[in-house]
Structure 1
Amino acid sequence: MLINVLDKGYVRLVNHMGSDLTVVNAARVSYAKQSDELSDKDIRLIQFLAREGHTSPFRHAVIQLEIYAPLMVARQWWKYVVGSAHYEGTGDSLEAWNESSRRYITEEPAFYLPSGGEWRSAPENSKQGSGSLISWELGAKYTKELMDYTELGMQKYEAALADGICAEQARLFLPAYGLYVRWYWTASLQSAAHFLQQRLEHDAQKEIQDYAKAILSIVKTLFPVTVEELLSR
C-alpha cells in the first residue's frame, strides 16, 4: 500500500504485526483467555481500554512504514519521536527510525516546490503556523524564486562532486529544508495513534498533516476498531 503525498512524497506500508484482535488478546492474557475472532464483547473491551487509558495492550501491534518527505517534515516528525518516549502513560514508546544519508548516497536530489497556489500567509495572532493562502500571483513569484535557488544549489553540489569533494561535504550546497529524505519508521499502534492525534490537529503544519492523513488511511485499514477508539479520546 502506497499513498502519494505533496508533489513527490509518499507513505508506503512495509510491514505490520497484529490486528484489532492482537490488542484484545494482549489484554485477556492476564486471565489466561484468548479470542479467535473479534466479537462485540472484544470491541467493548477495546473501547474500555482506550477510555480508561490502559495503554500496554496497544503496544503489541506494530506498523512499519517507508516515508519520503521534505526535511522540514522529517525533522518535525523526529522531534515528536524523541518527545513521545516521555509523554505520560507510555513507558517505552516502541519506535525505531532509520534514515537515508547523503554521506553515503548521491542519488539525484529531489526538492519540495509548492505551487503558486500553495503558499500561505503568516498567522495574525501567533508566532508559528500559517494563515490563509496568499494570492496566486505572489505565490507564483516565490515558486519561481525557490526553483532558481534550488537549481543554483544543485549546480554547486554537482560541481563539488565533479571536483572530487566528498559527498558528506558537497551536500552543504543543497538547500536543506525542501530536500526530500527517505526513512523507515516502525512504531507501536499506540505510538502511531498518538502521532496522529497530534499531527491531525488543525494547528499542525499543513505538510505534516498531509502525511498524517496518509498514515491514518493505512492504519484504519489494518486496525479499524482500535484506531477509531484511540483517536476518539
Structure 2
Amino acid sequence: MKKDEKKMINEYGYVRLVDVMGSDLTIVNAARVSYAKESFELSEKDERLIRFLASNDHTSPFRHAMLQFEIYAPLMVARQWWKYIVGSSHQEGTGDSLEGWNESSRRYVTEKPTFYIPKPDCWRQKPENSKQGSGDYFDYQTGERLTDELTGYVNQGLALYDNAIENGVAPEQARLFLPAYGLYVRWYWTASLQSVMHFINQRIEHDAQKEIQDYAKIVYEYCKQNFPIASEYIKE
C-alpha cells in the first residue's frame, strides 16, 4: 500500500496517491505475454517497446497498471472528472466501467462544508471567440466585488443549512440549502494507467478549465514518478 502525502492545489483542495499497482515493466510484460516472454528488469529494449506501443495506439498493455487517488475538489471539478468514469469502458458495446469512483455523501457526512471561493485576482472573463472556457482576468476591483458577493451567498446557504440540521432535518435534505458547484467533495478514483493518461492529456490542455487543469497537473506528477517511460506520452 502506497500512501503519499497530499499535494495541495490551494488552501483546501488536494490530490493524494493512495495506491499504485505496477510499473513500466508491467506494461512490457503484458505485451510480451503473447510470446510467452517476460522481463525482470527494465532494459532499453523494453523502453523502446513501451514507446512503440504508445506511438501506435496499442493500448491494452497500459490497462494492467493501476493508480488509486484520493481527491478533494469543488463539485464543478468532480462533475467534469466524472465524465471519464462514464466513458471509461475499454470494450465497445459494453456498459461496464473499468474504473472505480466512491464519493463522500452528505446523506451521511455532516462535517463542516468547505467551499471554493476564487480570490479577487482569480476571476476570469468569458472568451471572445468561444462558448466555453475563459478569457482574460478581471481587474482586482471587479474581482474583489465578485468574491464578496459569492462569500455572502455561501454564508447565507451555510446559515440555512446549519439551522436545518439543528432543527432535526435529515442531512440528505438539509444539504439542499448548500450552494452546490463550489462545495468541496472527497472521492477515491481508481483507474488504469491508460485511463489516467487519457484524462491528463485532455485536462492539461490550455483550453481546459483552469481549476481542473491544476488537479490534472498533480495527477501527472504522480504518473511521472511511478511510470516515467509511459508518462513521456502524456502531453505537457
Q: Root-mean-square deviation (CA), in Å?
A: 1.8
Task: Tell me whether 1:77 sits opposite 2:67 in the alignment.
Answer: no
TM-superposed CA distance for 1:86, in Å, is: 6.7
Contact 1:109-1:179 within 8 A present in 2 as well: yes
What SS is found at the alignment partner of 1:187?
A: strand
Give the fraction of aligned pairs with identical amino acids, expressed as a percent. Answer: 64
- Find the counterpart in structure 2 of residue 41 from structure 1: 45
Misfit runs of 4+, over 2 Å: 83-88, 90-94
TM-superposed CA distance for 1:93, in Å, is: 5.9
Which of these residues, 161, 164, 179, is aligned with residue 160 of structure 1?
164
Q: For residues 105-124 of structure 1, what are the structure 2 equivalents within 5 Å?
A: 105-124=109-128
Contact 1:74-1:181 within 8 A present in 2 as well: yes
Which of these residues, 203, 221, 225, is aligned with residue 199 of structure 1?
203
Which of these residues, 11, 14, 17, is aligned with residue 18 of structure 2?
14
With the length of structure 2 as denominator, give the TM-score of the two structures.
0.94
More displaced stretch, 30-39 vs 60-69 = 30-39
Q: Distance between the aligned counterparts of 1:140 and 1:73, measured in 2?
A: 23
Contact 2:89-2:97 within 8 A present in 1 as well: yes
Return the letter of the residue paired with 2:170: C
Deviations 1:87-122 (A, max 9, x none): 98x997621100000011100000001100000001
Which of these residues, 32, 37, 42, is aligned with residue 36 of structure 2?
32
Give 5+ residue unaligned stretches, structure 2.
Answer: none
CA gap of 1:205–1:65, structure 2 versus 1, over 3 A, is same
Q: For residues 117-196 of structure 1, what are the structure 2 equivalents within 5 Å?
A: 117-196=121-200
Q: Distance between the aligned counterparts of 1:69 and 1:95, measured in 2?
A: 19
Deviations 1:156-183 (A, max 9, x none): 0000011110000000000000000000
What SS is found at the alignment partner of 1:12?
A: strand
Contact 1:7-1:113 within 8 A present in 2 as well: no
Deviations 1:1-28 (A, max 9, x none): 2210133100001001000000001111
Q: Greater RCO between the two (CA within 8 Å, min separation 6)?
A: 1
Deviations 1:118-158 (A, max 9, x none): 00001101111110111011001111111111111000000
CA gap of 1:87–1:210, structure 2 versus 1, over 3 A, is farther
Q: Distance between the aligned counterparts of 2:65 and 2:10, measured in 1?
A: 28
With the length of structure 1 as denominator, give the TM-score of the two structures.
0.95
Q: Distance between the aligned counterparts of 2:235 and 2:122, measured in 1?
A: 30
